[in-house]
Amino acid sequence: MSNVRLSARLSRLTPSATTALSGKVAALKAQGINVISFGAGEPDFATPDAIKAAGIKAIETNQTKYTPIGGPAELRKAVAERVSADCGVTYTANQISVTNGAKEALFLAFLALCDEGDEVIIPAPYWVSYVDQAKIAGATPVIVETTPEQGFRMTAAQLAAAITPRTRVIMINSPSNPTGAVYSAAELRALADVVAKHPQIVVMTDEIYDAIVYTEYARWLRVAPELYNQTLVINGASKAFAMTGWRMGFVAGPQQIIDAIKGIQSHSTSHTSSITQAAALPAYDGSVDMASEVSRMVKAFRERRDIIGELLTSIPGVSLSMPDGAFYVFPDIRGLLGKPLACGVTCNTDDELAAALLEHAHIGVVSGSAFGAPGFIRMSYATSAELIREGMARFTKAVVG
Ligand SMILES: Cc1ncc(COP(=O)(O)O)c(C=O)c1O
């Protein structure tokens, strides 16, 4: 035992369930067991060639030195033009900071906006890091529970009821991880009408899955441009361009908040890798056409969603609110709990079901509890149709025989 004392801040954190699943899957695989994981939080496609080529060129031409804080002007300008076109408002290069993935963008934003005791409204089911990042920043997460009946989308009435004088931030994530839910324009409009009454609140709209939608996509600022000064747009290259490992995200927002974010960045990470920044540039400045690559990926995801959706709903005791975006399904498995399954065990919770599926069916799924929604599981279909069918056959056999 050492005398080293860890910071009190750490006691607030919850270990990541998705990382825990990866560890368990890896351990079983190391024992030679053929495990099919539905845990992946990233596209299974390769980074497009044009991006790889730009990265290689950056190395060969020695673009390997520090860049300005929050990215070079050229990249920030390209990103600003992209976000402006997407959102129907105007951002300049100075209103963008490029970060180590969207995750760092969110983290810096929480640090820039929240003081101890401030409240962050997070609709559940939620992406786990919102809660822990808000806590590290000293804020108190205020969880708003949503149900499959409401399509896992927070209503304006729920939002209004959750707001207090301490509310600093509202998280909106559409399409959502873990549910794949996508808000309609009317739903966003109703939320915006609530936010408009509270000028001290900032909405963080996490649009990281915006390229992967199977329905009409409504963007927060397109619906509520009058909330421009109260909005931070979070996005990045990870999911749209299959670049998770490169670490390229960004935040767009009012200059004052972006300057604050860059101030924290200047004392922490400075910027993401110069090579990553150079590689991402063609994806944002329009010099290569990414549309066909992206639509090929979305077509594959949609086919897989349909396959896994159909197989899941054919299991008695499982129901599914069909996702409209991202690459996750979030089935309701409450009908499987509390009774003996074909594999011989009775599970009383989603955690127990996830453990049983790993042990008896050798498939990896994440329990809904990890996303603030007990009674559900999250399955990523960012894997081949063949593995989806095989994994679902194992699932069905384990629960119904
Ligand atoms: C909803 C959501 N936001 C942000 C991120 C972070 O993305 P990045 O890899 O760019 O940091 C993820 C990654 O899984 C996510 O699911």
Neighbouring-strand partners of residue 124: 145
Q: For residue 277, is it within any domain?
A: yes
Q: For residue 1, is it within any domain?
A: no
CA distance from start to end of the chain: 49
Identify the burial level of 161 via C-beta atoms within 10 angstroms of its C-beta, where 0-12 means exposed, 13-18 middle and 19 or more buried: exposed
Q: For residue 87, is it within any domain?
A: yes
Cα(13) to centroid of ligand 1, in Å? 18
What tokens does 43 get?
Answer: 């596209």
Residues 6+ apart with CB under 8 A from 354: 21, 365, 366, 367, 377
Taking CA atoms only, the protein residue closest to ligand 1 atom 1 is 177
As a whole number of angstroms, the distance between CA 99 and CA 272 comes to 6
Q: Is 259 found in the same domain as 373?
A: no
DSSP 31-64: TT---EE----S-SSPPPHHHHHHHHHHHHTT--
- Tell me the residue type at 358: L
Q: For residue 2, is it within any domain?
A: no
Q: Is 63 found in the same domain as 140?
A: yes
Cα(241) to centroid of ligand 1, in Å? 13
Q: For residue 132, is it within any domain?
A: yes
Q: Is 281 found in the same domain as 144?
A: yes
For the chain, how many structural domains are there in total?
2
Cα(153) to centroid of ligand 1, in Å? 19
As a whole number of angstroms, the distance between CA 333 and CA 340 comes to 14
Helices 255-266 and 101-113 cross at an angle (nearest 10°) of 110
Q: For residue 198, is it within any domain?
A: yes
Q: Is 319 found in the same domain as 192?
A: no
Pocket of ligand 1 (CB under 6 A): 41, 101-103, 127, 173, 177, 206, 208, 236, 238, 244, 249
pLDDT of the residue at 78 = 98
pLDDT of the residue at 235 = 98
Cα(347) to centroid of ligand 1, in Å? 31
Half-sphere exposure of 257 (CA within 13 A, CB side): 27
Question: What atom of ligand 1 comes closest to residue 105's alpha carbon?
Answer: 11
Q: Is 316 found in the same domain as 340?
A: yes
If we measure between CA atoms, which residue out of 183, 195, 173 comes closest to residue 106?
173
As a whole number of angstroms, the distance between CA 240 and CA 302 comes to 14
Candidate from 99, 177, 241, 366 with most ligand 1 atoms within 8 A of CB, to mutate: 177
If we measure between CA atoms, which residue out of 270, 265, 257, 210 comes closest to residue 230?
257
Cα(389) to centroid of ligand 1, in Å? 26
Q: Is 320 found in the same domain as 206?
A: no
Cα(341) to centroid of ligand 1, in Å? 34
- Tell me the residue type at 176: S
Q: For residue 3, is it within any domain?
A: no
Measure CA 399 to chain center: 29
Which domain-ending residue is among 285, 309, 333?
Answer: 285
Q: Is 56 found in the same domain as 150?
A: yes
Candidate from 16, 18, 44, 103 with most ligand 1 atoms within 8 A of CB, to mutate: 103
Question: What atom of ligand 1 comes closest to residue 326's alpha carbon?
Answer: 16
Q: What is the dihedral of CA 142, 89, 178, 188, to 10 degrees?
A: 60
Question: What atom of ligand 1 comes closest to residue 248's alpha carbon?
Answer: 10
Q: Is 270 found in the same domain as 301?
A: no
Q: Is 302 found in the same domain as 220?
A: no
CATH number for the domain harbouring residue 234: 3.40.640.10
Q: What is the dihedral of CA 94, 96, 97, 101, to 10 degrees?
A: -170
Question: What atom of ligand 1 comes closest to residue 176's alpha carbon?
Answer: 1
Question: What atom of ligand 1 comes closest to residue 104's alpha carbon?
Answer: 11
pLDDT of the residue at 1 = 61
Full-model pTM: 0.96
Which domain-ending residue is among 228, 250, 285?
Answer: 285
Taking CA atoms only, the protein residue closest to ligand 1 atom 7 is 102
Mean pLDDT, 10 residues at a time, the chain of 401 residues: 83 79 87 93 92 98 98 98 98 98 98 97 97 96 97 98 98 98 98 98 98 97 98 97 97 98 98 98 92 92 97 97 97 98 96 95 95 97 96 97 90
As a whole number of angstroms, the distance between CA 191 and CA 193 comes to 5
Q: For residue 327, is it within any domain?
A: yes
pLDDT of the residue at 312 = 98
Q: Is 158 found in the same domain as 137?
A: yes
As a whole number of angstroms, the distance between CA 224 and CA 228 comes to 8
CATH number for the domain harbouring residue 38: 3.90.1150.10
Question: Which residue segment(s) compose the domain that 219 sits in?
Answer: 49-285
**Three-state SS sequence of 224-268:** CHHHHHHEEEEEECCCCCCCHHHCCEEEECCHHHHHHHHHHHHCC
Q: Is 300 found in the same domain as 240?
A: no
Cα(208) to centroid of ligand 1, in Å? 6
Cα(242) to centroid of ligand 1, in Å? 12
Which domain-ending residue is among 231, 253, 285?
Answer: 285
Cα(300) to centroid of ligand 1, in Å? 20
Taking CA atoms only, the protein residue closest to ligand 1 atom 16 is 177
Neighbouring-strand partners of residue 367: 377
Q: Is 239 found in the same domain as 146?
A: yes
